[in-house]
């Protein structure tokens, strides 16, 4: 039985550990200690590290983890020089086989130019790094609005019950922003659900694609121009 464990690290990041009873794949280990503790406590053998993009809060733990486990490290071909610890390089259309599961690689550039996602079609799981958040999307550090728009369309076209494993707990701030920009939508139910999750100490990741299609203003934007306006408003938002 395959499951995804969610490990909070740093200020507001999450690491995902996909595992069965004996083997594990780690996604975006920004901090080694909580990951090593988890692997040891569950007696799991690490078989691969998946990296979505080169930012330090996603790769900071790789070196220490590799001192303890011998596992291949995957990242985009674009990030080959920016992630020297990576041993295998990926582009859209590639797929990986781990834990008896296929993970397809999607190019979702925008937040950075080397940003990729890992998608399990069998489980409807998307590990999408900093591209889409619950009620939000990543800042455009390197890509254009058009590139991010194209990446979001790929995500929108996945099955509606896809679970999106996003890596930052920005959800309640994103909700404030969405409420300020869209006064037509009734936010009562989702606000109550998300606030309860956080009050009870649970992460808001993963989120479901159909929920995001209903509420996420970045995914609801119908044209690249509309998307650009929403992104620019968010860049200026102090919530």
The residues binding Zn ion (CB under 5 A) are 55, 130
What's CA 34's distance to the chain center, in Å? 18
Q: Which residue is nearest to Zn ion (CB)?
A: 55
Closest distance to Zn ion from the beta carbon of 84 (Å): 18
Which residue lies nearer to Zn ion by CB, 79 or 130? 130
Q: Is 14 left (phi over 0), alpha (psi -120 to 50) or beta?
A: beta
Q: Which is nearer to Zn ion, 55 or 234 (CB)?
A: 55
CB 192, min distance to Zn ion, A: 30
Reference 161, options 220, 121, 193, 203; nearest CA is 121
Phi, psi of 184 (to 5 degrees): -85, -40
What is the nearest approach in angstroms of Zn ion to the Cβ of residue 55?
4
CA distances from 36 to 26, 33, 45, 85, 180 (A): 10, 5, 11, 17, 41
In terms of Cα–Cα distance, which of 135, 127, 113, 194 is closest to 155?
127
Min dist. Cβ of residue 130 to Zn ion (A)? 4
Residues 6+ apart with CB under 8 A from 155: 106, 108, 117, 126, 128, 131, 132, 164, 209, 219
Shortest distance (Å) from residue 20 CB to Zn ion: 29
């Amino acid at each position: 039985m395959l499951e995804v464990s969610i490990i909070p690290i740093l200020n507001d990041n999450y690491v995902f550990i996909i595992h069965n009873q004996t083997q594990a794949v780690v996604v975006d280990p920004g901090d080694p200690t909580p990951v090593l503790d988890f692997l040891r406590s569950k007696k799991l053998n690490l078989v691969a590290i998946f990296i979505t993009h080169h930012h330090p809060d996603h790769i900071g733990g790789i070196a220490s983890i590799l001192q303890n486990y011998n596992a291949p490290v995957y990242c985009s071909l674009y990030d080959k020089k920016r992630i020297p610890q990576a041993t295998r390089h990926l582009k859209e259309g590639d797929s990986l086989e781990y834990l008896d599961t296929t993970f397809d690689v999607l190019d979702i550039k925008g937040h950075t130019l080397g940003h990729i996602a890992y998608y399990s079609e069998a489980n409807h799981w998307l590990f999408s790094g900093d591209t889409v958040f619950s009620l939000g999307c990543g800042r455009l550090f390197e890509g254009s609005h058009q590139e991010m728009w194209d990446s979001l369309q790929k995500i929108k076209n996945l099955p509606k019950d896809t679970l999106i494993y996003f890596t930052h707990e920005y959800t309640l701030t994103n909700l404030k922003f969405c409420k300020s920009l869209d006064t037509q939508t009734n936010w009562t139910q989702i606000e109550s659900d998300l606030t309860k999750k956080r009050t009870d100490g649970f992460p808001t990741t993963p989120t479901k694609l159909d929920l995001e299609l209903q509420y996420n203003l970045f995914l609801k934007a119908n044209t690249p121009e509309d998307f650009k306006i929403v992104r620019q408003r968010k860049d200026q938002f102090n919530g």
